[in-house]
Structure 1
């Protein structure tokens, strides 16, 4: 639910911040929230440089790169489309697990799910371009962003979770390192207007506190308990929430290819992750 609402918050925040600014302040308020949680629970962080390096990489893959790219894309396409494309994350995660990390086996159902997922993307892309509702630069930005997500989940499980550090600490340092990484870029060009509306100001606060604070703590918690394939399934509900909020609160248009392509994409994601089987193995 929180990440589904993030696309609405990004849309509002872009009225006074640049894509880099949106991502920086999102991480800043998220890090502040996580540090409060850590202090309230009286954790005593103990880290080595190797783990910090892994957390910095996770931050690049989950916060910095996709954060800027999603905001960049939403300057060109609707929050609805951005939310639907986010549903490609589970397929990207499965692809990385199978091809790069090789921690799970390939199967006929997974291949079929991956193919279905990309068919869904093609329906969104080709039909969208034909009716003039698509931007190629936005598409490539969204694709690279979800690819980063797909790499991040198995990477986190392989290199971060085994350290058995409390999830609150992991999330706090991940988002804090992302904030520091973005700081020089945000100073250079992070703000477009210094007179934000109340809604825009509230949106960036909500985006940071909920979307990069509590949500990343929950994300680490889920990845620790059930692994990368399941943890990436949060993206199943994300496009549904993004579509509903985009329609009701932003009045964005919805063309037929977006829900149709999105539904095929979700079915493909579920199939690739083994939620059900179409082929007997």
Structure 2
């Protein structure tokens, strides 16, 4: 597939989309927390996907963008819709019943670590360097520090155990994103399907899957106010519609590893909003773990390297 050199204007537009989706997705953890005050976690990710599919469907109609003709491509998008939308959205919505929005956003920042693992070990579209192995190791240590398993040792209380389960759910959601970026890189991006069509098909497939949950959605009680309604609209139309369109644009322009660095922005936005709007607090180990994850990401994405002299000494040893 041939590529063209991006113009400066196009480069600025791509960077703006990258920042925009970082801000929207960072705020989405706050909006999920607010929406859960009057809805169930199933209603949150159901509404998010259905509204996102409607928003992107409108864009497809206005621009008259074509849909894939190959049944094989529809199968690929069904996989992406499940692994990249339904599962992580469900994990995060469930988790935020038990963890703060700030912690959810921090654990979401492990996505580049998961992406580095998946593109090398599972999908084998890249090879790991020593620095990347080091970065993945630091990222894993950072996650352990964030979770703080020593806090749950010897306790049988329900609250700490559900908090631990919520944190694990966030990690699983990040793993799903890592699988999705890698899957798109291997099976979808090389086919030349447009960014707009890719974004729509991913969310549309996820929306079709969650329609199975409709009986539980319509029968569960809700307590709506303007804050909850606005949160659901932002999650669906912006967080799952517009931001996903931007995400695929950046993915095709920069590649899976680079686009996953949006998680540099999301924890900053998520933690700040959680503290300023919801009054959330952080324990000492959570920012320490976040720093370890960030350093790990920098190594995993080759933005930090080990000194050449140290590498030579290690090779000689």
After TM superposition, is the score higher than 0.5?
Answer: yes
Residue aligning to 2:72: 50
Residue aligning to 2:123: 101
Aligned with 2:110: secondary structure?
helix
Alpha-carbon spacing, 1:44–1:105, altered in 2? closer, same or farther (3 Å): closer
* 1:80 correspondence with 2:102: yes
TM alignment of 1:233-248, pairs within 5 A: 233-248=261-276
User: What are the superposed Cα offsets for residues 100-146 of structure 1, whole Å, 9 maximum, x if unpaired?
Assistant: 11221221111111111111111112267259867221122112111
1:17/1:193 contact within 8 Å kept: yes
User: What are the superposed Cα offsets for residues 184-240 of structure 1, whole Å, 9 maximum, x if unpaired?
Assistant: 213224664333011000000000111100111111111111211111111111101
CA-based RMSD of the aligned residues comes to: 1.8
Residue aligning to 2:288: 260
* Equivalent residues, number: 281
Alpha-carbon distance in structure 2 between the residues aligned to 1:258 and 1:70: 18
Match of 1:16 among 24, 28, 38: 38
* 1:123 correspondence with 2:145: yes
Aligned with 2:66: secondary structure?
coil
Tell me the TM-score normalized by structure 2.
0.84
Match of 2:184 among 149, 156, 161: 156
Residue aligning to 2:250: 222
Match of 1:270 among 281, 284, 298: 298
Gaps of 5+ in 2: 1-22, 154-158, 312-317
Aligned with 1:160: secondary structure?
helix
Gaps of 5+ in 1: none
Aligned with 2:115: secondary structure?
helix
Alpha-carbon distance in structure 2 between the residues aligned to 1:229 and 1:46: 25
Aligned with 1:237: secondary structure?
helix
Residue aligning to 2:20: none
Alpha-carbon distance in structure 2 between the residues aligned to 1:42 and 1:75: 40
User: What are the superposed Cα offsets for residues 148-184 of structure 1, whole Å, 9 maximum, x if unpaired?
Assistant: 1111101011111122122111111211111110012
- Cα deviation for residue 64 of structure 1 reads 0.1
1:16/1:191 contact within 8 Å kept: no
Alpha-carbon distance in structure 1 between the residues aligned to 2:50 and 2:69: 21
